[in-house]
Every structure is written in structure tokens, then in C-alpha cells.
Structure 1
Amino acid sequence: MIPPLKQLVLIGAGHAHAFVLEAFAQRPDTTIAITVVSDSPLAAYSGSVPAWLAGECTLRETQIDVAALSQRAGARLITSPAVAIDPTKRWVTLANGEVVHFDVASFNVGSTLRLPEKHGAQPPYLLAMRPLSSLHYRWQALREKVAQLPQGTHQRVVSVGGGAAGCETLMSVMAQLRQQRSDITWQGTLVSASTTLLPGAGHLPRWLTQRALRRADITVLHGVRGQSLIAGGVNTSEGELIDADIVLWATGAVGQMWLQDTALPLNQQGFIQVNKTLEVTGKPGLFAAGDCAAFNPSLRSSPLPKSGVYAVRQGPVLAENLRAACHSEPLTTWQPPKRVLALIGTGDGHAIASRGAIGFSGRWVWEWKKRIDARFIARFNPPFNY
């Protein structure tokens, strides 16, 4: 008798799962049936989002064609996100009501944000930077609002979150808004709870980023934690007001809300705890990677930053381990890199490269970043799309 196929379910279409699908496309396994559940047949690559926000490329040029990639891998794609999972009975419930059985499953669903409270009448306009999958809807709504502003007005844009992503996002957004409405005076402010810009980076990358922010007419407030939105701006944890008309919220990353109602081991931020093989702690046959995953505290003293580069690095090991789990074979350990290269676009056709204490900037860095991002996306997409 032919044994039944092992059912592998990929929950979410993040960067790590793109590598999984690529691996099965390159080396098919006729004993494994793969199902992908995602809210869309297209998935944005986070590295290209700042270029899109700055108007340097189209939305489509930032997206991985999950449908085409699934087809290459012989996987079934269901465009309905997961909303519940039972690790014991081994099934996933989707938003459309469908129930999908699995033997092995993997989470790569990204993260969302803990949004600020709003108090009083007419708080500033809020643009939440996560979840990434629906950012294009929120960005379009903001641009439509900006298009209706009266001529000659003054607009204050405040970004709450001072990491590399917060800096890059604010500079990109400011560049696009200034291009869209050059008749408006735009003023930017970056609010960082840290006492330094780009914590963990060396002096030179921090200096280059500070210079780029200054050139973009963006003021940086250190040691300040944005807490809520009130009439006129952002209320800080110290009770002070930062004047704002538009607020970009890029801090307080948390796990997807539906995970709270599952039996999965979550940390305080709602991320799924995994061990060094990316297998969920205490849940054999379940895996998690990318932003939605967090190493068990006993394995790592400090959490990994929520950056797409880690999902990219985890992808090949995750692919090996999912195949191995389906065949009850030993799993491979993933070791986080000690340093990663960060390429930070500055919204003006330039970029900053940062790796540890090393840093350099220029137009050529931006062109280098765009080539890297384009190659990454093209790797997973059909040639005829490009």
C-alpha cells in the first residue's frame, strides 16, 4: 500500500517561505503535499518598500509573485489567511471557513503594531507601518488626504520609532510628500526612545544617518517615548506634546492578534517561541521564522531585531528542516549572524551602508541597494514579469 502524502502547510507568505517554495521547486518531493495560505497572491519584499514609498518604483516591483512561486513548487495556494490553529488536532482554520489538515506546519506571518491610543477631538492622521501586507492601502489613503490639503499650508510629520527602518521610512515618506505637494511646507521629526540613533551601529553609520536626516530637514528627539495621539500631536510618556499633523507609527511590534487565542508558546510581545532549529518550543512538527518568531529566552539573551534580513537568512535552513520533519529526520541548527549589512535609503537617491562600525554613503550605494533588491525579487518571480 502507498503511504498517504505528508501534508506540509505554510502559514503566511513571508520571505522565509519564499525560500521554502524555491527549494521544493528545485528539488520536488512526491511524498509531500504543500499548501500555502496567504491573504494575497502577492507578497511585498520589505527591503524594497522604502524605494516604493519614495516614488522610486511601483508597488508591483516590490512584490514576490506567491501564486507563480507556489505553482513552480507544485503547491496549492489558498488566498485566505489563517485565523486559528489547533496544534494537537493538526488543523488550521482560515478566514473563509476552510479547515486545512497538516502533519508539519510553518509560520511566516510577520508582525503587527501595538497602536497608540487616541484621545480628544481631531488627533493627527495616523499611518501605521505594519502590517506590511496592507501598507499600500494605508499609504494610498494618506496620499489622497494630502492631495486635498489647501495650498500654502504647513504640515508636521512625526515618526515614532528611531531604528534604521524608522529613519529610512521617514526620509522616504518626506521625499514623496514633498514631491506630491511642493506648495506645502513639510517639517519632519523623528522620535526615538533610545538615547542614540541606530542603537548597535558604529559611530560612522550613526553620523552618516544623522547627516542625512538633517539634510532632509528632520529633527531627531532622543530619549523620548511616544505614547498616545491627542489633539495637536503626540503625547509622550513624560506628558509632553510633540506637534504633529501626520504620525508614522513604527514602534511596538507585536505578534498577530489571532495567535493570542492559540495554544502556541508566545513571549510577552506575542511572538512564537522557537528553538535553534526554528521548531516551535514544545510543539514538534511546528516551525516559525521571520518577524513572527522569537528565540526561547533560554537560548538567547537579547531578541533579534524585527528585520527582513533575518527571515532571508533563516529561509534555506527552514526549507531543509521542513523537509526533514516530513521524513522524521534530524533537524539542522540555525545560527544568527553576528553582524548584518544594513542599506538605508535616504529618500534623495542616496543610501547609507552600515555594518558594525563600518559605514559609507553615496548615490552608488543606493544603486547598489536597488540592484540587490531587484535581484532578490526576480529570483522568485517568473522572468516574464520583469
Structure 2
Amino acid sequence: MPMQQLLLIGAGHAHALVLEAFAKKPEPNIAITVVSDNPLAAYSGSVPAWLAGECTLRETQIDVAALCQRANARLILSPASMISTQPRYVALANGECVNFDVASFNIGSTLTLPQQLGESLPKLLAMRPLSSLHQRWLALQNEISHLPNGGTQRVMGVGGGAAGCETLMSVLAQLRQQRPDIEWQGHLLSAANELLPGAGHLPRWLIKRALSKAAITVHFEQRGETLIEGGVATQNDKRLDADIVLWATGAVGHPWLADSPLPLDKHGFIRVENTLEVTGQPNIFAVGDCAGFTPALPNAGVYAVRMGPHLANNLRLVCRGEPLAPWHPPKRVLALIGTGDRRAIASRGGFGVSGKWVWEWKKRIDARFIARFNPPFED
């Protein structure tokens, strides 16, 4: 069997599991190359704890370089910028081109940012792409450190899903600790008429209680659209004052995919079949937030984690020329939502519970997952 060139584009959660699988069970006829913009990749589940100042950035990261070395994979530190399917190669931002027989995308998503009109706009912190969030967060913290003493700052979170709620509570916890001389007011915009769409009554009640405890006012049926002088304008031209805006809504695919031959859905995500193979593109796969399923899956890291082992198996199968196996997404998943006060909410379907013990449980789960992909490795 000729050597198969397997290209992993991006170093997301699913690809970390693929590398782990190939490290534990190597394939002599598969040569693996990984392209990523960073030798370290953040685990999304731990990011809110880092935003809240409860752990270091490094404690949230997967050591991609060490994982590649363990799997005998070549790592190129440059993101993809173009793909050709005939001939098969990917162009990188550094000008290099990498040929492939089989490729897989795990590059996450980005956000559609608001329009910006006028001057004296609020400070904006976009929560995606995740790979560069630490740079944006540190820059915002630096600006905040130079604010004059006293006064009031209004922090506006845009997005009423789990990520939007968790992000706002985590950031406010850190800002109140960093600058206790300032009165920090929290506001959350939700385009829906409820929080955590799709969750049961109890989890929604628990998140509403946590937001209230954090002194956050929720504005329902208000979709943030434009940054204007001193605040945010909504879809009905309502103006809400804000000094800092956390943007956690409107996930879309990376812009460069629009010029590729890959099929995309209306949000710019790569259309895939239930085998995780790209629709109409044999031997090319997509997983995680960058993949567009029918019906659509929520943008949550837990799905990428569940896809990882199945993707590893299908990559082996396709390299051998064998039929692919379908992946069946879980009907319900456990969501663990930090509330910025060393507490967390566990939500699964209609079930919900909160407390300090849930936070400790979440920390153990996250730490155990991250440890799998950092040396020393367990065989």
C-alpha cells in the first residue's frame, strides 16, 4: 500500500484526539502533517476560568507540538489560507504549500462583528477566534489598568447562550478584582425571549439566578447590531449605554473558506455528511465548529470531543480504501457553566444543579482532559 499523506488543518479538540489515537496505534503507511498557527491550543472548556483569573493561560492549553512529536507527525506553524482539491494541496499563510491525499479541518469558527459607527466607541472584546483571544483580552486588561480611579463602567455582553452568559460573569469577576475602585455594571443582551435556548426550565432558572447574583441586568429580545458612540444599538434602534462590549454571538466560518471549492452552509461552515466527510469531496473531512451538519449542531466543544475518536477511525479507514462509518451525535450532552464565583451550573436536558461542588467537578474534568495532551503522556 502506498504511503498516504494525511493533513490535519487546525489543532482543535478533535484533532488532538486524532493525534492521541495515532500515537497509541501508529499506521506505518500514513504520514501525518499538522498545520496550526500556534504550538499551544486553548481548550475552550477552561477559557472562562482563565478569564475569571482562576487559572493561568498555560493551564488551559494543549501542547500541540509535544502531541505531534508523540504521534510522529510533522508540525508546521502557519495557518491554512487556501485549499485546492485538484490538484490536492493547501496553501499556508507563510507561502508554503502542502500536498495531501486525505485532509481534515478542525479550525473552529469566528464571529460576525458588529458595525461600528461614529467615534468614542465602546471597547470591543470578540470571543472568537479562540486562538487569538488571549491577545485581545490582555490588550483590554491593559486599557482597563489605565482607567482613572473611581467612576462607573458598564460591561455589555451580547449573546444569551451558555457562552455569552459564562463569558460575561467570568470577565466581570476578574474586572471587579482587578479594579475594585470602579463600580462595574453588567448587562446582557439576548435576541431570544429566554436564556439558554433549548435547555430545560431548571437550568434556565439557575443561570438567571446566577446572573442576578452577579448584578447583571438581562435585556430580552434585543439583538445587538451596531457599536455607536457610548453604547450599542439594537435591531429596533434602541440604544443601550456601554463602555465595554463582549461579543459572543453570530458564529460563522472563516472568511477564506468562501473562496474555496468546499460546499458551505449559510453561515460559512463546511457541509459534511454523517461520516464527517465533506459533502461531494471524497477524502476531505471537517469536524467541530467549522463543520455544518444537517440538522445543525450547537457550537459547543463537547461535540468536537465526541467526534474525535470517530474521526480517527474514519481517517484510518479512508486511507485503507475501506467504507466509512457514520457518526451519530449524542441526543443530550452535559453542559458545565462557570458563574465566575467559584461555582458552576450543570445542565443536561431538563436537569440542572449548581454549587461549589459542581465547579470543583468541572475543574477536575477539564484538568484531566488537558493533561491527556500535555507531557508526561500516559501510554
> In 2, Cα distance between the equivalents of 1:88 and 1:20?
25
> In 2, Cα distance between the equivalents of 1:21 and 1:7?
14
How many angstroms does 1:203 deviate by? 0.8
How many angstroms does 1:4 deviate by? 3.7
Instruction: Report how many aligned residue pairs link the two structures.
Output: 378
What SS is found at the alignment partner of 1:264? coil
Aligned equivalent of 2:41: 43
1:30 equivalenced with 2:33 (yes/no): no
Letter in 1 for 2:292: A
> In 2, Cα distance between the equivalents of 1:204 and 1:74?
47
Q: How does the TM-score come out when normalised to structure 2?
A: 0.99
Letter in 1 for 2:250: G
What SS is found at the alignment partner of 2:28? coil
How many angstroms does 1:49 deviate by? 0.1
> In 2, Cα distance between the equivalents of 1:153 and 1:212?
25
Which of the residues 355, 358, 375 maps onto 2:351? Answer: 358
Deviation per residue, 1:146-193 (Å, 9 max, x gap):
000011110000010000011000000000000000000000001000
What SS is found at the alignment partner of 2:8? strand
Which of the residues 318, 329, 347 maps onto 1:325? Answer: 318
Letter in 2 for 1:306: N
> In 2, Cα distance between the equivalents of 1:309 and 1:85?
27
Aligned equivalent of 1:250: 248
Aligned equivalent of 1:165: 163
- Aligned positions of 1:175-190 closer than 5 A: 175-190=173-188
What SS is found at the alignment partner of 2:274? coil
Aligned equivalent of 2:71: 73
Aligned equivalent of 2:146: 148
What SS is found at the alignment partner of 2:280? coil
Which of the residues 123, 132, 135 maps onto 2:133? Answer: 135
Unaligned 5+ segments in structure 2 are: none
How many angstroms does 1:255 deviate by? 0.2
Cα RMSD (Å) of the superposition? 1.0
What SS is found at the alignment partner of 1:191? strand
> In 2, Cα distance between the equivalents of 1:53 and 1:371?
18
Letter in 2 for 1:323: R
What SS is found at the alignment partner of 2:332? coil
Deviation per residue, 1:199-241 (Å, 9 max, x gap):
1111111111101000000001111100000001000010010
> In 2, Cα distance between the equivalents of 1:383 and 1:23?
16
Deviation per residue, 1:275-327 (Å, 9 max, x gap):
000000000000000000011x4xx2xx1111101000000000001111111
Q: Percent identity?
A: 71
Runs of 4+ in 1 over 4 A off after TM superposition: none
What SS is found at the alignment partner of 1:48? helix
> In 2, Cα distance between the equivalents of 1:214 and 1:196?
14
What SS is found at the alignment partner of 2:192? coil
How many angstroms does 1:5 deviate by? 1.2
Which of the residues 92, 102, 105 maps onto 2:103? Answer: 105
What SS is found at the alignment partner of 1:383? coil
Q: How does the TM-score come out when normalised to structure 1?
A: 0.97
Letter in 1 for 2:311: L
Which of the residues 208, 225, 233 maps onto 1:210? Answer: 208
Aligned equivalent of 2:222: 224
> In 2, Cα distance between the equivalents of 1:195 and 1:81?
39
Aligned equivalent of 1:345: 338
Unaligned 5+ segments in structure 1 are: none
> In 2, Cα distance between the equivalents of 1:47 and 1:68?
21
